[in-house]
Amino acid sequence: GSYVDHVGVDPTHGIVERIVSDQVRKVGGLLQNVQFQKHRKCKDESELSYPIRLQTACSGTDAPSIAFGLIKESLSRLCSGSKDKNDHLFDYEHMMSCEIEPFKQAYIARNFPGVPLFPDITKLSAIDEDNIAE
C-alpha cells in the first residue's frame, strides 16, 4: 500500500512545485536579467518576446501550460522582495489547444476555461472552396 505520513499529509504533496521552484532558483538570475535587456536599443532576433504565445497540438493534459504557470508562480515568489512582484517579465498566453480524444478534451476544457480547443489537428489548416477555414 501507499505510505501516508502519520499526521495525514501526503508525502508527495507539493513535490512538483518544489522541483520547478528549485530549477527556477537555479536559472532565476538569468531570467531576471532579461528585464535589463528591454532597455537595449538593438534586440537580437533570436530573443523571445513576452508574453510567450502557447499553442499546443495533441495536447493531452496541456502540460506546457501547467509548467509555464508553475514557472511564473516561482518567479513571482523569487521576486517577492522587490517593489514589483512581476519584475521577472515572464508571461505567457495560452492561445489554443488541439486534442482529438474526448476525455482529454474534457480535461482541457475544465482546467483551461476560455482557451480555444480544436478537436482535430488535421482540420486546423483545412480551407473550403470559399477560402474559409473549417
pLDDT tens-digit series, residues 44-82: 655 666 788 999 998 888 999 998 898 888 888 877 765
Q: To 5 degrees, how large is the angle CA 95–CA 87–CA 29?
A: 100
Kindly state whether residue 97 falls inside one of the protein's structural domains.
yes
Kindly state whether residue 1 falls inside one of the protein's structural domains.
no
Kindly state whether residue 5 falls inside one of the protein's structural domains.
no
Kindly state whether residue 131 falls inside one of the protein's structural domains.
no
Task: Print the domain residue range for 80.
Answer: 15-36+48-123
Q: pLDDT value at position 93?
A: 92
φ/ψ (deg, to 5) at 12:
-95, -5
Residue 92: closest CA among 61, 35, 36, 49: 49
Q: How many domains in the chain?
A: 1
φ/ψ (deg, to 5) at 31:
-65, -35
C-alpha grid cell, residue 48: 523571445
pTM: 0.65
Kindly state whether residue 7 falls inside one of the protein's structural domains.
no
Kindly state whether residue 119 falls inside one of the protein's structural domains.
yes
Kindly state whether residue 130 falls inside one of the protein's structural domains.
no
Residue 112 contacts residue 62 (beta carbons within 8 Å): yes
pLDDT tens-digit series, residues 24-37: 877 766 766 665 66
